[in-house]
Amino acid sequence: MQKIVPNLWFDHVAEEAATFYTSVFPEARITSVVRYPTEGLPDFQKDFAGQPLVVEFELAGQPFSAINAGPEFSFTPATSFFVGFDTGRDPQAREHLDELWAALLEGGKELMPLGEYPFSPHYGWVQDKYGLSWQLIMGDPEGDWRPSIMPCLLFGHTAQNRAAEAMDYYLSVFPDARRGLLVPYPEATGPAAAGSVMFGDVQLGGVWIAAMDSGAPQDFTFNEAVSFSISCADQAEIDHYWEKLSKVPESEQCGWCKDQFGVSWQVVPADMGTLMARPNAYQHMLAMKKLVIDEF
């Protein structure tokens, strides 16, 4: 089981979105569907009775969870996903990048046009029809290995110029973490200060996560539409991550928390499926902020 998994919030269309993504990405499949209880739901969730609650799926080996919920949160480009292609892995990498670009662009919009850039011979940033952002990039087959799909955090707006601080903090939170690349801005670029992070990445719990300070003014930042669940072996591990990552008390609910940079996390037991099978477990979970295994 992967330690950190991206969770994507959808307004009633989680299963539809997961089906779409697994139809256009390579090596993709839906792995499980967990449904809402048929009774005992609070009033604001009664129309979800029996419907999908969480749809788990994989794209090119990267697991995701799609949360089927309401319109409370919408995706922003503050959290996107790099999708890497290189001819060392795939002789038809460029053609496959173009095919995926066309599929994601249908009903969506370009954020950076597909083309040649100083950092890549073929790159584009697209927001798909659900609002989720993807950065498709041709990489260097001789460069350092990275997974085909990597979450990317864009620090702008209220989090501007905090990418380095955030990476350092996350390295201190996760015991099995290590630093990867760090490319600073050589001079001030828009709101990005000289020396701030043009591109960097860290490995946390075996998962690579990229970070960048925005080089252009932004009116958006992180929100709960994308969160990262941390699978914890026991209550002591839950307590550790909750203490380190929950810095916004009003955002605490059902194992969800928000750190000082605005990034949302879900700190959950690894055996969540077993716990949720207990009588009235869903109702017990709704009453918690930090999840306490003995209270399920």
Residues 12-23: pLDDT tens digits? 999 999 999 999
Q: Is the pLDDT of residue 222 over 90?
A: yes
pLDDT for residue 273: 81
3-state SS class at 257? strand
| Cα–Cα distance measured from residue 100 to residue 124, given in angstroms and rounded to the nearest whole number | 11
Question: What is the value of pTM for the model shown?
Answer: 0.94
pLDDT for residue 285: 87
| Cα–Cα distance measured from residue 119 to residue 138, given in angstroms and rounded to the nearest whole number | 9
Q: Is the pLDDT of residue 143 over 80?
A: no
Structure tokens at 197: 């992070």
Q: Round the average pLDDT of the chain to a whole number and report it.
A: 95
User: pLDDT tens digits for 117-141?
Assistant: 999 999 999 999 999 999 999 987 7
CB 214 within 8 A of CB 198: no
CB 84 within 8 A of CB 137: yes
Confidence of residue 286 (pLDDT cuts 50, 70, 90): confident
Query: Which residues are 253's β-sheet partners?
Result: 256
Mean pLDDT over residues 179-187, rounded?
Answer: 96
Confidence of residue 44 (pLDDT cuts 50, 70, 90): confident
Q: At CA 173, angle to CA 247 and CA 246, rounded to 5?
A: 15
pLDDT for residue 87: 87
Neighbours of 47 (CB within 10 A): 11
Mean pLDDT over residues 199-204, rounded?
Answer: 97
Q: Is the pLDDT of residue 11 over 90?
A: yes
Structure tokens at 142: 């001789």
Mean pLDDT over residues 139-168, rounded?
Answer: 93
Q: Is the pLDDT of residue 195 over 90?
A: yes
Q: Is the pLDDT of residue 142 over 90?
A: no
| Cα–Cα distance measured from residue 109 to residue 128, given in angstroms and rounded to the nearest whole number | 7
pLDDT for residue 151: 98
The residues spanned by each domain of the chain are: 4-73+225-295, 79-213
| Cα–Cα distance measured from residue 96 to residue 90, given in angstroms and rounded to the nearest whole number | 9
| Nearest residue to 155 via CA among 119, 190, 111, 186 | 190
CATH topology of domain 79-213: 3.30.720
Determine the distance from the C-alpha atom of residue 277 to the mean position of all C-alpha atoms in its chain, rounded to a whole number. Answer: 26
User: pLDDT tens digits for 236-284?
Assistant: 999 999 999 999 999 999 999 999 999 999 999 998 888 878 888 888 8
CATH of 4-73+225-295, one of 3.40.50.10190, 3.10.180.10, 3.40.50.720, 3.60.15.10: 3.10.180.10
| Cα–Cα distance measured from residue 254 to residue 125, given in angstroms and rounded to the nearest whole number | 33
User: pLDDT tens digits for 54-98?
Assistant: 999 999 999 999 999 999 999 999 999 999 999 888 999 999 999
In the sheet that holds 62-69, the strands lie side by side as 29-35, 52-59, 62-69, 4-11, 226-232, 264-269, 256-258
CB 124 within 8 A of CB 82: no
What separation in angstroms does the CA of 170 have from each of 133, 206, 244, 245, 273? 23, 13, 9, 9, 27
Confidence of residue 31 (pLDDT cuts 50, 70, 90): very high
pLDDT for residue 130: 98
